[in-house]
Structure 1
């Protein structure tokens, strides 16, 4: 059977109309749903303006699936070969100290070209391209553990909204595209990643105190129980979550959908898909059109400081690929700790 001819898509943007070639347009990216590479590219055309509003001017990693979501998957952090001349990149520093460029998306055609490269999920950093060491977004990932689900994440998100508002932030929310909820707030880019992470930990611990039966900050899964985990490590350098309006590699072709807080209460994440999201945006508008005035992360860091000084709480675990960090607890699963070893790192 002959391969389908490439399709040329006309994509409007701030620099005018660009033509993006989609080769192998009939390649099934979502085999169970009959959604092709061309369908995915056309989705990004349809939501291009709101997608760039949410994710543009940021370093972005690309989660690519050359054989569809049931095949091999890998992350592109370095720009792929053949990047069009209208796309740019910015140099990023990683936890190891290594540096290399990452793409920045400035217009819808750039996102559509990424679909041509079999990108399904876009992972933007919480920084602007011109200052990629100081985050300008506070991001909190509410991750339901086994026994909990989306509704439980929503139940945690609403008090989190109240807490963030008390601290002077203007929080906004989206579905994760799966079972979780992502809560964001714009912040002034005045502090580096470790400081922002401490602010997130301070917020997470306060939320846990308010909702001890629902929320946990326990890093080890065996200690979380049937609760909603506040994933504080998503605030680390080189840790990203799916961008707003980004497709997710799951059956049904769900997307990470920005919502108003009023819409969240009765939302079903399964209703927001590559097929349905463009119509929802057209009829309801962009829930993140107003991203709010930037808040001062110092208010969250004050929670961390209080916990350290008054409660004796300290650093929490970093991701396993991070170098050992100052004050970090032992990187040993609690059930496997041994007290008969001389080196405390391995106890």
Structure 2
């Protein structure tokens, strides 16, 4: 490792030189982890991290202002990328395209971390075939008020549904509150078919575990359940892959597990420090994932048996011509903000102004959603008044904050951003 006069260091990684700028900058104050510590972490777990993210185009989720600030999402690879970073050009649903980074080795991992990426967000396709996913992703996303035992129960049901249809699910902690199941599949189906298979899986899990699991896309309709998030298989979506460091104060890691660990272990146990020790002692529990490739035929037959999913009502019935969905729940919107702290502050102010309502609310009635803007997240705060006596329900009033993520941009952003404006529920991208 050589030093540079500008405080950078140059690492020799697999025959490549990787420059790490500001290596001593503290990224995680609580455990005292520096930028160089994070680079060295990814080099130590490179075998597992590349099994999850290697060879796939990825969105660069860059925390250039630290974990206390919102990241920005960069789809296009920087023009001055080194020659050991491959690229692939993805076509997006709204008609834009982006040449994205493809990491294939440990040097590539070190390079993206130097850019400020904490977690790795690859697409479910290989760079050699961008139209046919080779991975189906099951994101078990708990609603507020749901404990770990319920998440595990739903994971076990999902495992059974997968096995009943000829597929193998590989569990990992999301690095936040939920569980991800990764399913290797033959790259024979397009995104639409993979999403349909995932939706059918979710509906079957809900059928087998009523009240525990939900396949309802609209968040206010789920109650205190675990959402089996099938929409993570849509074309533009990415999720944090195995061994990704998440932007939580304890430097928590999205960690692959064996099935016999799922019930007894907890996400908070897996941090940069503990995962380094675990990986050194036992290697990667997902080492066999690429040998467990399955077919979607069973889940697609299930889709035919279940029939079309119920469609959400649309705004045409309102007569406003907007085409926007009308919720079946008594929702009011509180605020739209640029940052999560601002969203929580607005929620606190709304609660202070409506003290008679607060005792009726369950944790799942308070909806604070990260939404995808042009290149970063913004936040929407809503309250479901379903448990509030009708006579005591406050009317929709002016928003306490009304941030416009599209101000100064054409609708849909520049194509460099993180998505189409949809909700990023729970453990999806964030």
CA displacement, residues 74-110 of structure 1 (integer Å, 9 cap, x when unaligned): 0111102421111110011111121121111100110
Identify which of 162, 165, 176 aligns with 1:164.
162
Task: Show the counterpart of 1:300.
Answer: 299
Structure 2 distance, partners of 1:35, 1:110, is 20
Residue 332, structure 1, aligned to residue 326, structure 2:
yes
Moved more, 289-298 or 98-107: 289-298
Q: After TM superposition, list the pairs within 5 Å mapping 1:25-174 onto structure 2.
A: 25-174=23-172
Quote how far apart the aligned CAs of 1:33 are. Answer: 2.8
Aligned CA-pair RMSD: 1.9
Q: Would you say the 8 A contact 1:29–1:67 is kept in 2?
A: no
The aligned length equals 317
* Alpha-carbon offset, residue 32 of structure 1: 2.9
Stretches (4+) displaced over 3 A: 312-317
CA offsets per residue over residues 16-70 of structure 1, 9 Å max, x none? Answer: x322111111222223332111111111111112211221111111211112111
1:10 aligns with 2:12: yes
Q: Shift in Å at residue 251 of structure 1?
A: 1.3
Distance 2:16 2:304 in 1: 50
Judged with a 3 Å threshold, the aligned counterparts in structure 2 of structure 1 residues 315 and 287 are, in CA distance, closer, same or farther, namely farther
Task: Return closer, same or farther for 1:72/1:200 CA change in 2, 3 Å cut-off.
Answer: closer
Structure 1 residue 155 displacement after superposition: 1.5
User: What secondary structure does 1:184 align onto?
Assistant: strand
- CA distance in structure 2 between the aligned counterparts of 1:122 and 1:215, rounded to whole angstroms: 27
Find the aligned partners of 1:66 and 1:47 in 2 and give their Cα distance.
23
CA distance in 2, matches of 1:316, 1:229: 16
CA positional deviation for 1:301: 1.4
Q: State how far apart, in whole Å, the 2-side matches of 1:81 and 1:27 are.
A: 25
Distance 2:298 2:311 in 1: 18
| Aligned positions of 1:229-240 closer than 5 A | 229-240=227-238
Name the SS for the 2:12 alignment partner. strand
Shift of 1:72: 3.8
Q: Is the 8 A contact 1:177 1:247 kept in 2?
A: yes
Q: Cα 1:156–1:23, aligned 2, differ >3 Å: closer, same or farther?
A: same
For residues 66 and 277 of structure 1, the distance between their equivalents in structure 2, rounded to whole angstroms, comes to: 24
Deviation at 1:8, TM superposition (A): 2.1
3-state SS in 1 of match to 2:84: coil
Tell whether the 8 Å contact from 1:193 to 1:237 is kept in structure 2 after alignment: yes
Contact 1:31 1:68 in 2 (8 A): no
Is contact 1:186-1:294 (8 Å) kept?
Answer: yes
Deviation of 1:71 (Å): 2.1
Residue 120 of structure 1 aligns to a residue in which SS?
coil
Moved more, 135-144 or 264-273: 264-273
d(CA) in 1 for partners of 2:78, 2:311 = 37
- Structure 1 residues 149 and 251: CA distance shift in structure 2, 3 A: farther
Larger radius of gyration: 2
Structure 2 CA distance for aligned equivalents of residues 78 and 179 of structure 1? 30
CA distance in 1, matches of 2:324, 2:201: 23
Native 8 Å contact 2:221 2:329 kept in 1:
no
Q: Is the 8 A contact 2:245 2:254 kept in 1?
A: yes
Matches within 5 A, 1:216-227: 216-227=214-225
- TM-score normalised by structure 1 residue count: 0.87
What are the superposed Cα offsets for residues 198-241 of structure 1, whole Å, 9 maximum, x if unpaired?
11111111110100020001122211110000111101001111
Q: Which runs of 5+ in 1 are unaligned?
A: 318-328, 338-347
1:152-301 equivalences in 2 (<5 Å): 152-291=150-289, 292-301=291-300
- How many Å apart are 1:335 and its aligned residue? 3.1
Q: Which segments of 5 or more consecutive residues in structure 2 lack a partner in the other structure?
A: 314-322, 332-430
Q: TM-score, normalised by structure 2?
A: 0.71
User: CA–CA distance in 2 between the matches of 1:315 and 1:11?
Assistant: 51
Structure 1: how far apart are the matches of 2:328 and 2:301? 29
